[in-house]
Chains A and B, each alone.
Chain A
Amino acid sequence: MSLDATNELGAQPRRNVSELQQSGKIKPVPFRGGGFVHSRHRFIAPILFVVLVILWEIGSQTGFISNIALPAPSEAAGAMSDLFETGMIWNHLSASLYRLVVGWSLGSLIGVFVGLAIALFSLVRAGVSPFISALFPIPKIALLPLFIIWFGIGEGSKVATILFGVFFPTVIATYGGVDNVDRNLIRMGQSFGLSWISIVRKIIIPGALPAILSGFRISASIAIILLVAAEMIGAEFGIGAYILMAGALFATDQLIAGVAMLSVLGLTVGWLISRAEHMLLSWRA
């Protein structure tokens, strides 16, 4: 084949395209990609939230939404500002935060330790993990009466409920995380003569950290649920007690205010954990 011939062959498609374009017998290959990709829209959620609240307010003002079924946002805001004026919000918030922080921290701390022990020592795993599996599915709120007998009606029983609720998922997240640490990395540590404690501290725990932190995310929401439940049974102060009292009086504006507090609490906790992930797992990018 001569060079000219190849040239001609090479040029052929281009000539055809222009011919076909003129004749109108040509169309682009239909595009089928795209979609299924997340792009960031930072302002959509706040705007949507504000729009919904405005619509709700308008609905309530015009009587489209019955005041008995749902109070207007402005009424809920009024209940909220009452809380601030009387200073009661600090009583409720501090009581709730105390229980949440103490219960969650202790539960997480003990949970991580027990999880590590289960993952690292086969004797502990054989002995303890069946109990964990058996106790994990029990709704801890069902044990509250027992906790009241054991730890008293005061703070003890509430903190204990949260502590136990947080403990089990933390244990499971921790030992699952350790089990998933790349064995080759551990072999590497051994082959360089690292001590057992160094392998645990520098290879196993950092390797399990992503799983532990996502466990924290779950245990924190469990803690908030249990907090409210425990406060609904025999507490003077606390967000749960406030909501229960509002419900009993059918003060729906206060009820909505209480629920809003819980939502803010949950968002704050989620944000804190995101910060922690960002700081501790920066290597993942």
Chain B
Amino acid sequence: MELILDHVNHSYGDVEVLNDISLSVGSGEIVCIVGPSGCGKSTLLRILGGLEKPDAGAALIAGDPPADSLNPLTYVFQDFALLPWRTVEGNISLVLEDHSVRKDKARAIITDVLARTKLSEFANAWPRQLSGGMKQRVAIARALSVNPAVMLMDEPLSALDSQTRELLMDDLIELWGQVGFSACYITHNLAEAVRLGHRIVMLSRRPGKIREIVDIDIPLNERINHPAETAAIQRRLWEAMRDEARAADRELSDVA
């Protein structure tokens, strides 16, 4: 299955946010979208997952999602979005209950995704007892439980400290090695993009246009052994982004 954005334009009132964006996320591919803050990355992701309608253009699905995918387009949010009144297990079963996965089957799925995200001992913990990194692991486990065709991740690591971020990046790479998920991964952190992206799409400042697309051929699990190449790509991206970011920073805006 391939997820496609076809010539998408979007505005909020007079503010043009996205300008003629076309991109696609193929099967097993992680596409990172980077851009200065306020350039419309979250808006793009909401359109991609059907939470918002674009003014022009469309989000399209090519091919059928896998038959066992309960929720083909599944989000992972920056603020985790866990229900504080449900335990780790309860938060995952929440999204299975509505797809009439119950009892033994649900239990098997929950055990599996908790093991994959190294959370097995925390099945009965409350979200308030978990660190930020653990909460995001739960959110990733929850996303995996519905067997998504594409994961839509909106700055999933941005609320975490840099050490936790490193750990979770390693975990995501390991996880990708196991399940080979597809993802559209939004970030403003170029280091994350260079570590996790098969392709990096850079947006300009608002209104977001595609400024540059970079494909990285080095396999994800080997990137750590190619520091020179990845650093070079990261530097090139930063050269391109610096002026955009500086200009975006100096813009007046009513919305934080």
Interface residues of chain A, those whose CB is within 8 Å of chain B, are 182, 184-185, 187-188, 190-195, 198, 202-203, 206-207, 209, 281, 283-285
The answer to whether B128 and A188 touch across the interface, beta carbons within 8 angstroms, is: no
Q: Which of A191, A194, A285 is the one whose CB lies under 8 Å from B74? A: A191
CA distance A193 to B142 in the complex (A): 13
Question: Are A285 and B83 in touch, CB under 8 angstroms?
Answer: no
A residues less than 8 Å from B81 (CB atoms):
182, 184-185, 187-188
Task: Find chain A residues with CB under 8 A from B79 CB.
Answer: 184
If A184-B81, A283-B85 touch, whether A193 touches B128 (CB-CB below 8 Å) is: no
B74 x A206 contact (CB < 8 A): no
Residues of A with C-beta under 8 A to B49: 191
**Residue pair A283, B74 in contact (C-beta under 8 Å):** no
Interchain CA distance A191-B49 in the complex, whole Å: 8
Instruction: Decide if A188 touches B75 in the complex (CB within 8 Å).
Output: yes
Separation in Å of the B127 CB from the closest CB of chain A? 8
Contacts of B98 in A (CB 8 A): 192-195, 198
Point out the residues of chain A lying under 8 angstroms from B95, CB to CB: 192-194
Cβ contacts under 8 Å, A285 to chain B: 126, 128
Which B residues lie within 8 Å of A192 (CB)? 71, 74-75, 94-95, 98, 142, 146
Q: Mark B69-111, 1 if CB is under 8 A from A, else 0.
A: 0110111010101011110000000110111000000000000
- Between A185, A192, A285, the greatest number of chain B beta carbons within 10 A of the residue's beta carbon is seen for A192
Contact of B51 with A by CB under 8 A: yes
Q: Given A185-B83, A188-B81: A193 and B71 within 8 A (CB)? A: yes
B96, closest chain A residue (CB): A192
* Closest Cβ neighbor of A184 among chain B residues: B81
The answer to whether A283 and B99 touch (CB under 8 A), given A185-B83, A188-B75, A206-B85, is: no
In-complex Cβ contact of A184 among B77, B85, B94, B146 (8 A): B77
- The 23 sampled A-B contact pairs (Cβ below 8 Å) are A182-B81, A184-B77, A184-B81, A185-B83, A187-B77, A187-B81, A188-B81, A191-B49, A191-B71, A192-B95, A198-B98, A202-B83, A202-B94, A206-B83, A206-B85, A207-B85, A281-B85, A283-B85, A283-B86, A283-B128, A284-B84, A284-B128, A285-B126
A188 proximity list for chain B (CB < 8 A) = 75, 77, 81
| Complex contacts, A184 vs chain B, CB 8 Å | 77, 79, 81
Q: How far is the CB of B72 from chain A (nearest CB, A)?
A: 9
Could you say which residues of chain A place their CB within 8 Å of the CB of B73?
191
Cβ–Cβ < 8 Å partners of A209 in chain B: 85
Query: Which one, A191, A198, A281, A284, contacts B75 given CB within 8 A?
Result: A191
**Nearest B residue to A198, CB-CB:** B98
**How far apart sit A188 and B77, CA to CA, in the bound complex (Å)?**
8
CB contacts (< 8 Å) of A281 on chain B: these are 85
Distance (whole angstroms) from the CB of B36 to the closest CB of chain A: 23
B244 CB to nearest chain A CB (Å): 28
What CA separation (Å) do A184 and B74 show in the bound complex?
14
Out of B51, B86, B128, name the residue touching A191 (CB < 8 Å).
Answer: B51
Cα separation A187 to B152 with both chains bound (whole Å): 13
Instruction: Give A209's nearest chain B residue, CB to CB.
Output: B85
Whether B99 pairs with A193 at a CB distance below 8 angstroms is yes
Give bound CA distance, A185 to B75, whole Å: 12
User: Residue of B at shortest CB range from A185?
Assistant: B81
CA distance A187 to B74 in the complex (A): 12
Most chain A CB within a 10 A radius of its CB, from B51, B86, B94, B97: B94
**How far is the CB of A185 from the nearest CB of chain B, in Å?**
6
**Which residues on A sit within 8 Å (CB–CB) of B74?**
191-192
CB-based contact A187/B83 at 8 Å = no
Closest residue of B by beta carbon distance from A186: B81
Known: A195-B98, A198-B98. A203 touches B71 (CB 8 A): no
Measured in the bound complex, the distance between the Cα atoms of B81 and A182 in whole Å is 9
- A residues less than 8 Å from B83 (CB atoms): 185, 202-203, 206
* Closest CB in chain A relative to B181 CB, distance in Å: 16
Q: How near does chain B come to A211, taking the closest CB pair, in angstroms?
A: 13
User: What residue of chain B has the Cβ atom nearest to residue A203's Cβ?
Assistant: B83
User: B81 → chain A, closest Cβ, in Å?
Assistant: 4
Identify which of A191, A194, A206, A283 contacts B126 (C-beta below 8 A): A283
Closest chain A residue to B143, Cβ basis: A192
**A207 contacts across to B, CB distance below 8 A:** 85
Closest 8 A/B residue pairs (Cβ):
A188-B81, A192-B95, A283-B85, A191-B75, A206-B85, A194-B98, A193-B71, A184-B81
